[in-house]
């Protein structure tokens, strides 16, 4: 039997021996470091909600060398949402229905102007978004179209992965790769963890020839092993010897910690923070969905919702966001982890509004409340904007920050470089065709005139005798 149910306990025991600073943070439970015991909540003052969640349970994204399991053992192949994952996301949708529809913040039936949904362009996140929406918006009597199917189609938007700098944290960003490598080279926590687990890294390399004898090699086997364990599949014998499995579970959280180190996390999470803040600014300025369609929004994004934004993404997306906000709890976001940012009105505050944040990473408990450093749980919106201004990255500055010359930022009304290139190529081809047609016409007319001239030519007689003979 796999030690799945004791994963958190094992992690805590391991940190006692190997990393006491991390233990202090983990002992706070599953909530973030700045979580609050105050979990009062009301929809009466609610004006805007922004949700970011991880997809549900999935198959591994890959196999490692000498993996005892193959892709064929997963019904839909690698990296796909499982039926368990679909249920997890559907259940989350039901939770959101109770929180926002039953309390009458959202209309009882789906309204396009109220809600905007976006996902990364990956199968599992798209399917997760549809599963959440099925639980959030079951059709009412006015929207039923089938007597046997309690479901209605709701649009989910996406952009190409290589242009999705908003939610997909693996997009091209050379400066990020360089900064992270340099940071880890001198980070005491990373170096100490690497040293204490070198024997495990060596063991993996010995049992899976072809896997790098490095931290990257360790991470290469973590995902397949975790997914296999979640589905009660047989694990390799070496992973079950001694305390190896406990150590591997612990290192999954360590991997999450060092994935987006605090000093440089902004380069991966800052653009999303910028977008969340701009959506709040639009709401405060009274810019509606119709206004955005007419181009009156104050930012580049073409997102449009009067009450709720729903974003379906990955653990890495939540990780980067929470790290940048400085409220990460050092535990990898589990399947269906949900981050909630809410804008409330409060006339007693000078700013008139405040921002609340919640994190739901345990479906058996109410969401944990999150608190930004240097701000109250009910963070006045002006103070909130002041704090996140030091964390966000505007899309116009992201290209330079990443150190690349060609970036088409998805979800923006700005035209991408690739699109501009295609337009220029099309124009060049059109001009070439026009020139060619013009040349053909000119040559044709010249040849036609020459032919007519030859046809009408009559030789002038050289003398009178020739003229008489001709008569």
Tokens of 398: 């992201």
Backbone phi, then psi, for 53, in 5-degree steps? Answer: -135, 160
* 216 is annotated as an active-site residue: no
Spell out the residues 6+ positions from residue 52 whose beta carbon is closer than 8 angstroms to its own: 272, 311, 313, 317, 318, 321, 338, 339
Give the active site residue among 55, 299, 344, 353. Answer: 55
Tokens of 365: 């408990």
Reference 60, options 204, 230, 211; nearest CA is: 230
Return the number of other C-beta atoms located less than 10 Å from residue 20's C-beta: 9
Residue pair 331/322 in contact (Cβ under 8 Å)? The answer is no
Rounded CA separation 277/390 (Å): 12
Query: Beta partners for 360?
Result: 338
Tokens of 299: 């930012």
Spell out the residues 6+ positions from residue 378 whose beta carbon is closer than 8 angstroms to its own: 344, 346, 354, 355, 356
Give the active site residue among 123, 243, 315, 346. Answer: 315
Residue pair 276/385 in contact (Cβ under 8 Å)? The answer is no
Residue pair 296/6 in contact (Cβ under 8 Å)? The answer is no
Reference 49, options 276, 243, 268, 203; nearest CA is: 276
Q: Which residues of 344-353 are buried (b: 16+ CB within 10 A; e: fewer)?
A: bbeeeeebeb
Rounded CA separation 448/326 (Å): 79
Q: What is the DSSP letter of 459?
A: P
* 157 is annotated as an active-site residue: no
Q: Which residues are catalytic?
A: 55, 315
């Amino acid at each position: 039997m796999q030690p799945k149910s004791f994963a958190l306990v094992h992690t805590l025991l391991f940190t006692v021996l190997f990393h006491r600073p991390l233990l202090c943070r983990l002992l706070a439970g599953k909530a973030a470091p700045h979580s609050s015991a105050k979990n009062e909540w009301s929809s009466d003052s609610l004006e805007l909600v922004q949700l970011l969640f991880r997809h549900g349970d999935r198959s591994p994204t890959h196999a490692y060398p000498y993996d005892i399991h193959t892709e064929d053992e997963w019904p839909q192949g690698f990296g796909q949402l499982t039926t368990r994952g679909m249920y997890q996301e559907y259940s989350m949708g039901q939770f959101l229905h109770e929180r926002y529809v039953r309390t009458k913040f959202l209309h009882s039936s789906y309204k396009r102007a109220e809600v905007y949904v976006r996902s990364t362009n990956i199968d599992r996140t798209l399917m997760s978004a549809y599963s959440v929406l099925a639980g959030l918006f079951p059709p009412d009597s006015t929207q039923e179209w089938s007597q046997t199917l309690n479901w209605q189609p709701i649009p989910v938007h996406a952009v190409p992965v290589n242009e999705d700098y908003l939610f997909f944290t693996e997009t091209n960003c050379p400066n990020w790769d360089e900064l992270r490598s340099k940071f880890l080279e001198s980070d005491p926590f990373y170096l100490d963890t690497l040293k204490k687990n070198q024997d495990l890294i060596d063991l993996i390399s010995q049992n899976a020839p072809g896997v790098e004898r490095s931290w990257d090699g360790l991470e290469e086997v973590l995902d397949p092993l975790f997914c296999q364990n979640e589905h009660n599949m047989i694990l390799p014998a070496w992973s079950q010897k001694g305390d190896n499995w406990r150590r591997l579970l612990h290192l999954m959280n360590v991997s999450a910690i060092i994935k987006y180190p605090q000093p440089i996390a902004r380069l991966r999470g800052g653009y999303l923070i910028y977008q969340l803040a701009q959506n709040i600014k639009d709401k405060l300025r009274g810019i509606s969905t119709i206004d955005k369609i007419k181009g009156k929004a104050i930012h580049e994004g073409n997102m449009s919702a009067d009450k709720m934004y729903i974003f379906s993404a990955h653990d890495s997306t939540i990780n980067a966001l929470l790290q940048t906000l400085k409220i990460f709890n050092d535990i990898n976001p589990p399947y269906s982890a949900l981050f909630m940012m809410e804008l409330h009105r409060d006339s007693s505050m000078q700013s008139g509004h405040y921002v609340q944040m919640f994190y739901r990473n345990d479906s058996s408990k109410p969401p944990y409340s999150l608190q930004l450093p240097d701000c109250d749980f009910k963070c006045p919106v002006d103070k909130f904007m002041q704090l996140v201004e030091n964390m966000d990255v505007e899309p116009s500055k992201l290209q330079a920050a990443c150190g690349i010359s060609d970036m088409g930022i998805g979800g923006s009304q700005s035209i991408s470089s690739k699109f501009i290139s295609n337009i220029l190529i099309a124009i060049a081809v059109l001009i070439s065709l026009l020139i060619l047609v013009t040349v053909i016409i000119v040559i044709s007319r010249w040849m036609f005139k020459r032919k007519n001239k030859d046809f009408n030519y009559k030789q002038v007689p050289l003398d009178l005798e020739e003229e008489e003979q001709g008569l």
